[in-house]
Copies of this chain bind each other. A is one copy, B any other.
Amino acid sequence: MAKENTKLKLLTAGAKLVHENGFNNTGVQEILKAAGVPKGSFYFYFSNKEEFGLDLLDFFMDFIGERLDKHLKDPSEASLESLRAFFREMGEVFKLKGYKCGCPIGNLTQEMADLSEAFRLKLDRYMNDMKSGIASCLTAAQAKGELDASLGPEELADFILNSWEGAVLRMKAARSAEPLELFERMLFTHVLKR
């Protein structure tokens, strides 16, 4: 119990630092200090920093996955408005961070996909999980007659996810909600129009 608690403290403190400053720019000592955990504990839980980073990906994806499930999972409830609600909830998270930080899965793709094959494979899998959440919502919307049934939901979901990741990236350059609002406007009035 205490053991799991220490590991969770390291992941929670590490997630905040890596989200704000990047993975390579965050040192193990810094994580230990922020977690208030004795020096040396880190290598008791993680064999190296890469392994810690791979666990961080799970930690970040749990947060996103909960929100995907909440809005998009139940096919009887899911609709285009659910998709809008999902993106708006994520937008609220970004607002609380002052439109900094952005999507940790996107950030770590930029930073780590080329540097570690283990990172890349897990990031690719989590991108596909996000895509699948969106695709199942689009399928439900098609069943409800909200969306042109001739559009392939998987392909459309991939395009939507990638465009969203790009909007979140641009948000960091602009440090404003504007790219997210434009994404929502273009998605719902133009891309997903029937």
Contact residues of A with B, CB < 8 Å? 20-22, 24-25, 100-102, 106-107, 109-111, 113-115, 120, 123-124, 127, 155-156, 158-159, 161-167, 169-170, 172-175, 179, 182-183, 185-186, 190-191
Contact = CB atoms under 8 A, between A and B. Distances in A.
A169 B172 contact: no
Q: Which applies to chain A's interface (DSSP): helix, strand, loop or mixed? A: helix
Contacts of A166: 106, 161-167, 169
Which interface residue of A101, A107, A170, A191 has the most chain B CB atoms within 10 A? A170
Contacts of A100: 113-114
Given A155-B182, A162-B183, 15 more contacts: A21-B114, A22-B111, A100-B113, A106-B110, A107-B111, A109-B173, A120-B172, A120-B175, A123-B173, A124-B174, A124-B175, A127-B170, A158-B179, A190-B191, A191-B191
Contacts of A102: 110
